[in-house]
Structure 1
Amino acid sequence: MPLTTDAVLELVQQVAAEVVTPRFRSLSESDIDEKRPGDLVTVADREAEELLTRALLEAYPDAVVLGEEAYAGDPDLIERFRSADHGFTVDPVDGTKNFVHGSPDHAVMLSEVVDGETVRGWIWQPEHRQAWVAERGAGVRRNGEPVHRAPAGDQPQGATSIWSRRGRDPLGLPPLRGSWVCCGVDYPRLLEGEADYLLYGHTNPWDHLPGTLMVTEAGGAVAHRDGTPYTARSRGSGLVVAADPATLERAIAACEPLWPRPR
């Protein structure tokens, strides 16, 4: 049986309560591993993804579920997701480094995609007790209340998770500051006005589909670094997310010299 938007949120919150929150600041060394140097994964990531994936496939047996940890073991999964008529992304613990180091800035994220278009998105920040939900054409809500993002001012403030870009000066704009190193926190902070645009080097669907839907539903805009649209089927690199379309255009132009040059 299809799941309502509220039912999916309840599922996410239940799984977080069962296997994520009990591990917060309680992880042992054996609970933490590396997928590759510096890329951490924990028992909470693996268990949460298994539970969420199982529940989604029970409700939608024909859907392709792209989980971050499943992709790590099966890189071909992302192409099956991109070509699918119906799919979901699962990021069981976004901001795993924050989670491992005891920071509350982590989240559980899901998105639903139909014919390559993101139609629903969920971000649950268990330590902040913030639930962000978006439905295409129906706006974005924080703990049930509608959220709208006002356009940025004349000097929009950018934030980035790319360490080599922090402190750099986009042309005519204030220096870039660091983001919260967690897309499930970055996007909500932009919606709350703590940043006006965000820069990302990677474009993983599980990291960005929930938040990009929320930003666009709140009046913002999203594109690759070259201005092309970012979608569930994108393969390009570099992502710019902004509070409004005009700020997106300014940020793309101002930050263009900061991106690595193609070889």
Structure 2
Amino acid sequence: MDLANILRDAARAEALPRFRRLDASMVHVKTEAIDLVTEADVATENVIKARIADWMPDALFVGEESVAADPALLTALATADLAVVVDPIDGTANYAAGLPLFATMASVVSKGETVAGIIYDPMGDDWFIAEKGAGAFLRRPDGEAVKLKVADALPLDQMVGTSSVAYMPAESRVEVLTNFAKVRMVANYRVAGHEYRAFASGHTQFVCFNKLMPWDHLAGTLISQEAGAYAARLDGHPYLPSHVSGGLLVTPDKASWDLLRREVFTF
């Protein structure tokens, strides 16, 4: 729980006090209007980085805002013996808009493999936590732990899931949006952490993404797999920390994955 408590302490010290108190000077566009960074993102990451430097001094720190300043960190992740990957505020657009749906996430990568993942919800004050081979759990500050399990598979027309076409190839967006009519419902929360939380706790049948920055997906994918999910890139190969493109589809089982890939995510 050391890493979990680091995330909680940082979010409570830096993100929550600034929530709904940002002015225009504290919010900046990074690459486009839907890609934002706030004063709170930077401050929260700085606290996490300093705490991890004391706790795991030999680990490479790969934070979203650190990579924005030094892109070489992302390349180093693929060959690092030990790394901690952090998203200080996942769902920054929600956070900046005053919407109470954002998360603080971290994963531990050892020799190119994700071995631990945490998604902390500052508003709900609890964590989804997984260690490779040890299952996935909802953990609360009082010590209570609830084992996570993905939903049972459903027919295509009854599936509920989360996805976005924002980073899919432009020429495929209309086709994929049309294909969404084949399932019961598709939502997009603009925060990967909570989309993974909904999936890993059995409330949706799929999550799909195209852009694969490690701070957005390593923790959620491991948590989902430890809760019983099947996960693969859209070419059918395993998702690894070094991947930043190629799409990712996570479902309750391989049959659901094959069905959704064939009928819905056809790009």
TM-score, structure 1 length as denominator? 0.90
The amino acid that maps onto 2:137 is R
In the TM superposition, residue 207 of structure 1 has moved relative to its aligned partner by 0.2
The amino acid that maps onto 2:220 is G
Residues in 1 aligned to 2:11 and 2:232: alpha-carbon distance in whole angstroms: 31
1:229 to 221, 232, 238: 238
User: Aligned pair 1:140/2:136, yes or no?
Assistant: yes
Contact 1:122/1:133 (8 A) holds in 2: yes
Counterpart secondary structure, 2:65: helix
* Matched residue count: 252
Q: Where does residue 153 of structure 1 map in the other structure?
A: 154
Counterpart secondary structure, 1:152: coil
Contact 1:168/1:175 (8 A) holds in 2: no
User: Aligned pair 1:183/2:192, yes or no?
Assistant: yes
Q: Where does residue 254 of structure 1 map in the other structure?
A: 263
Q: Where does residue 3 of structure 1 map in the other structure?
A: none
Residues in 2 aligned to 1:23 and 1:66: alpha-carbon distance in whole angstroms: 24
Q: Which runs of 5 or more residues in structure 1 are unaligned?
A: 1-5
The amino acid that maps onto 2:31 is R
Residues in 2 aligned to 1:43 and 1:215: alpha-carbon distance in whole angstroms: 31
The amino acid that maps onto 2:240 is T
1:18 to 13, 16, 22: 13
The amino acid that maps onto 1:198 is V
In the TM superposition, residue 236 of structure 1 has moved relative to its aligned partner by 3.9
Output one character per residue of 1:205-251: Cα deviation in whole Å (capped at 9) or x when no partner: 00000000000000001111111110112254211111222212222
Say what the alpha-carbon RMSD is for the aligned residues: 1.8
User: Aligned pair 1:199/2:179, yes or no?
Assistant: no
Q: Which runs of 5 or more residues in structure 2 are unaligned?
A: 140-144, 167-172
Identity of aligned residues (%): 32
Counterpart secondary structure, 2:178: coil
Counterpart secondary structure, 1:233: coil
Counterpart secondary structure, 2:189: coil
Counterpart secondary structure, 1:246: helix
In the TM superposition, residue 256 of structure 1 has moved relative to its aligned partner by 4.3
Contact 2:10/2:47 (8 A) holds in 1: yes
2:77 to 81, 95, 101: 81
Output one character per residue of 1:85-114: Cα deviation in whole Å (capped at 9) or x when no partner: 110100000000000111111000000011
